[in-house]
Amino acid sequence: MKNNLETLRHSASHLLAAAVLDIFPEAKFAIGPATEDGFYYDFDLPRTLIPEDLPILEEKMRTLIKQNLPFERTEIESEKAKKLFQKAGQFYKVELIEDLEKTELVKKVSLYKTGSFVDLCAGPHVGKSGQIKPDAFKLLKIAGAYWRGSEKNKMLQRVYGLAFENKKDLEEYLERLEEARKRDHRKIGKELDLFTISEKVGPGLILWHPKLSLVRELLESWWRQLHRERGYEYIYTPHIGRAQLWETSGHLDFFRDSMYPSFKDTETEEEYFLKPMSCPFHVEIYKSRPRSYRELPIQWNELGTCYRYEKNGELHGMARPRGFTQDDAHIICTPEQLKDEYRKAIEFILDIYGAFSFKELKYYLSVRDPNNLGKYVGDSKVWETAESTIKEVLEEKGIKYEIEEGGAKFYGPALDIKILDAIGREWQCPTIQLDMNLPSKFGMAYIGPDGNEHVPIMLHRTIFGAMERFCAVLIEHYAGAFPVWLAPEQVWVLPIGEKHAEYARKIASSLLSQNIRVKVKDENETIGKKIREGEMQKIPYLLVVGDKEMESDLVATRERGKRDLGTMKTEEFIEKIKEEIKNKL
Ligand SMILES: [Zn+2]
Ligand SMILES: [Zn+2]
């Protein structure tokens, strides 16, 4: 059953099409579904739409709303419908009907008429156009879209709209959109000189500039240290592997579309692939010698750079790249150890996420589809134990979670954790996946206390997800204002005049000696301009130094977003900022 809002949104797309028909009687209509926040409609038009067309179309839609037109449904033979649309030159609709006849063997189709616009549509719709509030929708943008999403077909014009139940909901949504636009990591990435994607290098491949490289280095070394404290061992594995490896792992069967095409060893003709994930390499290390139950659990972590072929249209800056570094870990344990290891993995994730002031973590547990148990590999009993163990761990920790029935991969249940950023958007980052496929596919084993061979349990676990994506999340979450401990430049010292430059450099070197990242801004600019630049670059602390400060070893301190903190002794400032860095503020 479609919900009301979806029905309302889809109905608005009919009104948009009717408005377009009014301006362009020769318009050809493709499809017009509801979306997450509104609707769109694809048109084939005699001219390219311009943004100025949108308010005109909106006005026409409002007129149609005022007329309170009914959505009249008729059902006719599909043959007859084809003829009707053929005659009207609506060949996209003809193609859609032919498709319905072929794939769903329909003989009859339903048409909906609103004013003079007739559409092929299954519905449902609102009863009358007046149910759409004239001030609760908005046409948002125009984009190109291939007919049926294929580059081989004609490029159509897609008009996106928003539609809500009332004006207040629409306005709130527009505010959130505006806030998201301001925080877009691609925009901030340029403003703060953080990263580039170069057409020459290739789409989806990230070039990390020095400042963001430093943020990543800080995250990674913290991550490594926390792993070591928890008994993990760091390993390195290659970027490429033979076809044979990916055949055994099942990637060539199930994941090939997301892998870059192979290349050949020129001597042996052997086929190789870039790795889309590191797991099979870790398995091979495990298998390099016999293992005893005494060695388990094994915990290996790696920052593994992987490559996945994402479609061009799906790329999104650093949030959805083609080359990315996973903060990967594999935990290989006995079934008896599973509960403890799972609990520890969740606690680890919580420890790390505690440092970023995210609003909330949301937990989604993907389990099997109870009506389709046959599509999963592994012993059903092991699945049951695994699923109930994970639930027990979550419940014991008092964690609320949602169950996604049928969401599990074919090889095991997964716990996906979504984080809510500063403006309430969900981002999927950490995940723990239990794997019943790889250990048996690769013949992983350990000798148990009974002297027999057993198959271990394998957990895949990432905390950040990928360094690229996580940094994109951080940029958007903090709107570029990284907390002091992560800020690539923590302090700028700003001499007021030329004669204060040497004192400024002296302050900088005492900060540097305490590992504080500092820069002296001694360009020949007014102090006001330097302060503004520091604010734009979101520097946590600006230290202004002039005659007064120079005389008594003081710094006039400005904290980001809080204006003046007044003057203080240099050592006092050093103690303050060191404390903040230590506490990850
Ligand atoms: Zn419809
Ligand atoms: Zn893995």
For the stretch 492-549, pLDDT in tens is 999 999 999 999 999 999 999 999 999 999 999 999 999 999 999 999 999 999 999 9
Residue 253 belongs to some domain of the structure: no
- pLDDT value of position 410: 86
Statement to judge: residues 208 and 313 lie in one domain: yes
Residue 419 belongs to some domain of the structure: yes
Q: For the chain, how many structural domains are there in total?
A: 3
- pLDDT value of position 1: 39
Give the closest ligand to the alpha carbon of residue 439: 2
On average, the pLDDT of the chain sits at 94
Q: Cα of 410 to ligand 1 centre, how many Å?
A: 36
- pLDDT value of position 273: 97
Statement to judge: residues 38 and 156 lie in one domain: yes
Residue 121 belongs to some domain of the structure: yes
Q: Domain boundary residue among 442, 477, 512? A: 477
Statement to judge: residues 285 and 424 lie in one domain: yes
Give the closest ligand to the alpha carbon of residue 330: 2
Residue 189 belongs to some domain of the structure: no
Residue 159 belongs to some domain of the structure: yes
Residue 324 belongs to some domain of the structure: yes
Please give the average per-residue pLDDT across 315-341, as a whole number.
Answer: 96
For the stretch 129-168, pLDDT in tens is 999 999 999 999 999 999 998 889 999 999 999 999 999 9
Q: Cα of 433 to ligand 2 centre, how many Å?
A: 8
Statement to judge: residues 444 and 408 lie in one domain: yes
Q: Cα of 280 to ligand 2 centre, how many Å?
A: 8
Q: Domain boundary residue among 425, 448, 477? A: 477
Q: Cα of 378 to ligand 2 centre, how many Å?
A: 17
Residue 322 belongs to some domain of the structure: yes
Q: Cα of 336 to ligand 2 centre, how many Å?
A: 21
Statement to judge: residues 548 and 400 lie in one domain: no
Q: Cα of 14 to ligand 1 centre, how many Å?
A: 6
pLDDT at 445 over 60: yes
Percent of the chain with pLDDT over 70: 99
- pLDDT value of position 373: 86
Residues 6+ apart with CB under 8 A from 449: 293
Angle at 281 between CA 280 and CA 283, to 5 degrees: 65
Q: Cα of 277 to ligand 2 centre, how many Å?
A: 7
Q: Domain boundary residue among 151, 177, 203? A: 177
DSSP state of 409: B
For the stretch 401-410, pLDDT in tens is 999 999 998 8
Tokens of 107: 């003989």
We report the CATH number of the domain holding residue 27 as 3.30.980.10
Statement to judge: residues 388 and 470 lie in one domain: yes
Please give the average per-residue pLDDT across 253-259, as a whole number.
Answer: 89
Give Dmax over CA atoms of the chain in angstroms.
Answer: 93
Q: Cα of 362 to ligand 2 centre, how many Å?
A: 22
Residues 6+ apart with CB under 8 A from 455: 439, 440, 444, 445
Is residue 465 within 8 Å of 430, Cβ to Cβ? yes
Please give the average per-residue pLDDT across 7-31, as a whole number.
Answer: 96
For the stretch 170-207, pLDDT in tens is 999 999 999 999 999 999 999 999 999 999 999 999 99
- pLDDT value of position 151: 87
Give the closest ligand to the alpha carbon of residue 434: 2
- pTM of the predicted model as reported, rounded to 2 decimal places: 0.85
Statement to judge: residues 498 and 473 lie in one domain: no
Please give the average per-residue pLDDT across 60-79, as a whole number.
Answer: 95
**Pairs from 80-84 (Cβ < 8 Å, separation ≥ 24):** 81/109, 81/111, 81/120
Of 36, 41, 51, nearest to 163 (Cα)?
36
Residue 233 belongs to some domain of the structure: yes
* Residue that has been written with the tokens 């790329």 in this structure: 315
Q: Cα of 79 to ligand 1 centre, how many Å?
A: 20
Cβ count near 485 (within 10 Å)? 17
We report the CATH number of the domain holding residue 227 as 3.30.930.10
We report the CATH number of the domain holding residue 505 as 3.40.50.800
Q: Determine the structural domain holding residue 401 and report its residue range.
A: 195-239+275-477
Please give the average per-residue pLDDT across 469-476, as a whole number.
Answer: 97
Statement to judge: residues 23 and 47 lie in one domain: yes
Give the closest ligand to the alpha carbon of residue 461: 2
Statement to judge: residues 234 and 365 lie in one domain: yes
Statement to judge: residues 473 and 498 lie in one domain: no
Statement to judge: residues 537 and 390 lie in one domain: no
Of 581, 344, 317, nearest to 470 (Cα)?
317
Please give the average per-residue pLDDT across 252-261, as a whole number.
Answer: 90
Please give the average per-residue pLDDT across 79-103, as a whole number.
Answer: 94
How would DSSP label each residue in 424-466? Answer: S-EEEEEEEEEESSHHHHTT--EE-TTSSEEPPEEEEEEEEEE
Give the closest ligand to the alpha carbon of residue 33: 1
Give the closest ligand to the alpha carbon of residue 14: 1
Percent of the chain with pLDDT over 90: 89
Please give the average per-residue pLDDT across 221-232, as a whole number.
Answer: 97
- pLDDT value of position 382: 85
pLDDT at 299 over 70: yes
Statement to judge: residues 117 and 88 lie in one domain: yes
Q: Cα of 119 to ligand 2 centre, how many Å?
A: 48
Give the closest ligand to the alpha carbon of residue 122: 1
Partners of 38 in beta bridges: 162
Q: Which residues surround ligand 2, an ion (CB under 5 A)?
A: 279, 460
